[in-house]
Structure 1
Amino acid sequence: MGDISVHLVDRGRVHADMGYVLDGYSMGSASNPNPDHEMAEFVVWNAVIDGSDQTLLWDTGSNPDAGNGYWPAPLYEAFSHVDAAEHTLEADLDAVGYSIADIDGVVMSHLHLDHAGGLAEFAGTDVPVYVHEEELKFAYYSAKTTEGSIAYLASDFDHELNWNVVHGDEHTLFDGFRLYHLPGHTPGVMGAHIETPEGDVLIAGDECYVEGNYTDEVPLGPGLLWSDRHWFDSLQKVKELERRTGGDVLFGHDLDRFRSFDGGWNV
Structure 2
Amino acid sequence: MSDLSVTPVDRGRVYADTNYVVDGYAMADAETPNPTHEMAEFVVWNAVVDGPETTVLWDTGSHPDAGDGYWPAPLYNAFEHVDAADHRLADDLDAAGYALDDIDAVVMSHLHLDHAGGLSEFAGTDVPIYVHEEELKFAYYSAKTTEGSIAYLASDFDHDLNWEIVHRHRHTLFDGFELLHLPGHTPGVMGAKLDLGDETLLIAGDECYVDANWADEAPLGPGLLWSERDWFESLQTLKELERRHDAAVLYGHDLDRFETLAERLG
TM-score (norm 2): 0.99
- Segments of structure 2 that go 5 or more residues without pairing to the other structure are none
| Structure 2 residue 126 is the aligned partner of structure 1 residue 126 | yes
Inter-partner Cα distance in structure 1 for 2:88 and 2:247: 30
| Structure 2 residue 194 is the aligned partner of structure 1 residue 194 | yes
Give the corresponding residue for 2:84.
Answer: 84
Counterpart AA for 1:59 = D
Give the corresponding residue for 2:156.
Answer: 156
| Structure 2 residue 50 is the aligned partner of structure 1 residue 50 | yes
Q: Deviations over 1:32-52 (max 9, x none)?
A: 111100000000000000000
The 1:214/1:2 distance shift into structure 2, 3 A limit, reads: closer
Q: Deviations over 1:100-135 (max 9, x none)?
A: 000000000000000000000000000000000000
Identity percentage of aligned residues: 72
Inter-partner Cα distance in structure 2 for 1:222 and 1:15: 18
Q: Map of 1:143-182 to 2, 5 A cutoff?
A: 143-182=143-182
Give the corresponding residue for 1:29.
Answer: 29
Give the corresponding residue for 1:234.
Answer: 234
> Is this contact kept in 1: 2:7–2:262, CA < 8 A?
no
How many positions carry a matched residue from both structures?
Answer: 266
Give the corresponding residue for 1:117.
Answer: 117
| Structure 2 residue 102 is the aligned partner of structure 1 residue 106 | no
Counterpart AA for 2:167 = H
Give the corresponding residue for 2:66.
Answer: 66
Counterpart AA for 1:4 = L
Counterpart AA for 1:175 = D
Tell me by how many angstroms 1:197 deviates: 2.2
Inter-partner Cα distance in structure 2 for 1:31 and 1:181: 42
Counterpart AA for 2:102 = D
Inter-partner Cα distance in structure 1 for 2:262 and 2:169: 30
SS at match of 1:239: helix
SS at match of 1:85: helix
Inter-partner Cα distance in structure 2 for 1:78 and 1:52: 41
> Is this contact kept in 2: 1:7–1:264, CA < 8 A?
no
- Segments of structure 1 that go 5 or more residues without pairing to the other structure are none
Q: Deviations over 1:141-163 (max 9, x none)?
A: 00000100000000000000000
SS at match of 1:201: strand
Quote the RMSD (CA, aligned, Å).
0.8
Inter-partner Cα distance in structure 1 for 2:264 and 2:59: 15
> Is this contact kept in 2: 1:211–1:251, CA < 8 A?
yes
